[in-house]
Structure 1
Amino acid sequence: MTDIDVTEIRIILEDLTEEQLINILEKNGYTNKGKKNVLIREIMTKISHDIVIQELDELGVI
């Protein structure tokens, strides 16, 4: 797995669409509708960074 720090994760998440962010949340058992910055915060606080990295890898963005 790629070694990515928290800052890099946030930068990558900022480049995703709201739909992609919502899909990451929903795939991991969370539902949230909101502005992009809220979705990013929810992903960063509720989902393990290892899982977020895996999700980003599956999207092909890392």
Structure 2
Amino acid sequence: AFVGGLGAAAWLTQAVLFLRCVRFFDQPAPWALTLPAAGLLYAAMTVDSAARFALRRQRWR
């Protein structure tokens, strides 16, 4: 429960800090909640790309 609470607090902190940027671009406030999900998606795509590159054993282009 404690770790889950820490995760929720981290998510909320990121969303609150991102809210200023969301408002600057005249977007609805709930969009701020998507930043952590976008970061997770980006990290997953980066790891997938690195794994595919490592398995192919050819030069990166």
Is TM > 0.5 for Structure 1 vs Structure 2?
no
The structure with higher relative contact order (CA 8 Å, sep 6+) is 1
TM-score, normalization by structure 2: 0.29
After TM superposition, the score normalised by the length of structure 1 is: 0.29
